[in-house]
Every structure is written in C-alpha cells, then in structure tokens.
C-alpha cells in the first residue's frame, strides 16, 4: 500500500514538473526572444518536436472540450425534440416533388418551417418555387430550396447545391412522420454516440492538425531560407531552422485556434504569412543577432 502511494506521489510530481516545463516553453515561445531561441538552437531536434506535439495535443484537447460543451447531448437532444415537434406540424396536403433536378409543390406558394431556440421562433427552412438563391438573405432563413437549388446560409456568400445531385423524390406527410420517428430514435442513442465520438474527435483533430501544421512549417521554413539566401546573403541549415519553427509557430497557432472558438473562419493564407514571419524572426534572432553566429 505504501509502495502504491509512493508511486502515485512520484507520478504527480513528475507530471507537475512536465506541466511546468511545458508552460515555461509555451510562454517563452510566444515571441522570438534571442536568449531563449539560442537555447533551442543548442537543444535536440526531438525535444523541439515534442514541444510542438504537446502544444497541438493541448490545443485540440481544449477545442474538443469546447465543442463538447457547446454541442452537448442535452442541447442536441433538445434540438432533435424541437425538430420532431415541428415536423409533426407538417401539412397533410403538402406534397413536394423533385423530378429531373427540378422542384414542384402542390402549394404554389412559399412553405415556412420554423424552429424554436431560446423560447424564440427562428426560420429554419423555406421552400419557394419562385425564389432565387440570393433570396435567402431576404428570408433570413438557414436553408432555402428553390426550383433548382438547395441554398445554405453562409457568409459572405451562400452555398448553392444543385438539385441535379438528388434522385427523384416525393415528400409527403407519411415521409415526414417516418423522418420524425428516426430523429427521436437518434436522440435516444445520442449519449452513447457522444461517449464514443468525443475521444475519436480528439484523435482526428490532433492527427490532422499535426499533419497540416508540419506542411505549413515546411513551407514557412523554405520561404525563410530563400529570404536569408537571396536578401541577407546567408546560407542556413534547413533542419536547424525547421527545429526553431516548432517553437516560433506558437503565437500564430494560438491565434488561429482562438479565431475558430470565437466563430471566425480560419484564414490559411494569413496563418501561413504569420507563421513565415515568426519563423523568419526566430531564425534571425538565432543566426543573425547571436554573436556566435554572425558572419
């Protein structure tokens, strides 16, 4: 028992040291600092890669927790129940046909499908045989179905999907009732889906982020070397600058994740530009301003 207790205390101390070390590296990597980045130049390539890997895991863990809180099972289940209740109000006499990529209804007038959010009604879907894709802005609806397209609200420009991609269908009251029953069944298994999908989401986000970030760093490192070679007349080692980039990307990466959390779309070109600036600045601190690396 005492051995187990001692091992537990040792693990806690070990983890505390690792966390403090990561936080120290994180704070020091935010902006290119000559003294810190010169220490990186003397460190191993693997140690710098471990820092980047840990940073990506940390950020994706926070992102996964944020997504779980925002789209938690209670919220999603409430949405499903709301959707099922409103589907139950679907008119008995409304039949919608999609034939050869063109929509027609028996109403010959717009059909409005509403949902409730925070005790307020919100227009979710409009079906209008006489509408154009641009009319989604006039309806203030999330979705609009025109005679030829499915339109999804999006900024700055709506997403338009031609009905040609759909098979021929007829939607009536019976189809809607079946859809409502399926939605209610899905709501029942939602907690299990969340339990299984959340760790999987974390792994997918982390793996894809690591792959994409490595590509960005390779491009930023190559661009920095070109600037050094042709404008500063310095020939630097690719692996050495790449190692420095694992730390230099810290602030651009934090900003990119913050933008996603606050609902802004990622801007790959801006992220690449910032990454290149920070990689170049860090390499400049190490290989141009350092007395031991001056020409």
pLDDT for the residue numbered 290: 55
Torsion, Cα of 199, 203, 205, 210 (10° steps): 160
Is-cis flag, bond preceding 109, omega within 30?
no
Closest CA to 129 of 157, 100, 107, 113: 107
Residues in contact with 256: Cβ distance below 8 Å, sequence separation at least 6, in sequence order: 266, 271
Residue 171, pLDDT above cutoff 90: no
The mean pLDDT of 78-100, rounded to a whole number, is 86
Rounded-to-integer distance, Cα 80 and Cα 183, Å: 6
Which of 87-96, 106-115, 145-154, 187-196 shows the lowest per-residue confidence on average (mean pLDDT)?
187-196
Residue 13, pLDDT above cutoff 70: no
- Residue 242 burial by CB count (10 A; 0-12/13-18/19+): exposed, middle or buried? buried
- CB 293, CB 48: distance < 8 Å: no
Residues forming a β-bridge with 103: 98
pLDDT for the residue numbered 11: 54
The mean pLDDT of 72-87, rounded to a whole number, is 82
The mean pLDDT of 90-115, rounded to a whole number, is 87
Give me the helices (H) in 92-237, please: 136-139, 173-230
Which of 23-32, 40-49, 177-186 shows the lowest per-residue confidence on average (mean pLDDT)?
23-32
* Strands 143-145 vs 120-127: parallel, antiparallel or unpaired: parallel
Chain-centre distance for alpha carbon 54: 18
pTM of the model: 0.72
Residue 9, pLDDT above cutoff 60: no
């Amino acid at each position: 028992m005492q051995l187990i207790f001692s091992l537990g205390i040792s693990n806690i101390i070990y983890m505390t040291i690792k966390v403090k070390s990561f936080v120290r590296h994180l704070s020091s990597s935010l902006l290119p600092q000559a003294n810190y980045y010169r220490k990186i130049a003397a460190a191993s390539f693997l140690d710098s890669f471990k820092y980047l890997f840990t940073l990506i895991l940390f950020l994706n863990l926070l992102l996964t927790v944020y997504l779980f809180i925002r789209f938690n099972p209670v919220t999603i289940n409430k949405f499903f129940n709301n959707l099922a209740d409103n589907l139950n109000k679907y008119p008995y006499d409304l039949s919608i046909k999609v034939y050869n990529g063109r929509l027609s209804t028996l109403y010959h007038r717009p059909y409005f499908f509403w949902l409730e959010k925070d005790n307020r009604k919100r227009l979710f879907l409009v079906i209008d045989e006489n509408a154009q894709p641009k009319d989604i802005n006039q309806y203030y609806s999330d979705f609009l179905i025109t005679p030829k397209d499915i339109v999804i609200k999006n900024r700055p420009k709506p997403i338009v999907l031609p009905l040609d991609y759909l098979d021929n269908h007829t939607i009536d009251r019976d189809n809607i009732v079946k859809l409502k029953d399926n939605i209610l069944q899905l709501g029942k298994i939602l907690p299990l889906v969340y339990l299984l999908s959340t760790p999987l989401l974390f792994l997918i986000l982390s793996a894809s982020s690591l792959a994409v970030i490595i590509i960005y760093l390779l491009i930023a490192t190559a661009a920095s070397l070109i600037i050094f070679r042709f404008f500063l007349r310095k020939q630097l080692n690719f692996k050495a600058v790449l190692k420095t980039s694992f730390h230099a990307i810290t602030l651009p990466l934090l900003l990119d994740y913050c933008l996603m959390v606050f609902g802004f779309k990622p801007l790959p070109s801006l992220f690449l530009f910032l990454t290149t600036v920070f990689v170049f600045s860090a390499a400049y601190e190490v290989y141009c301003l350092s007395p031991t690396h001056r020409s």
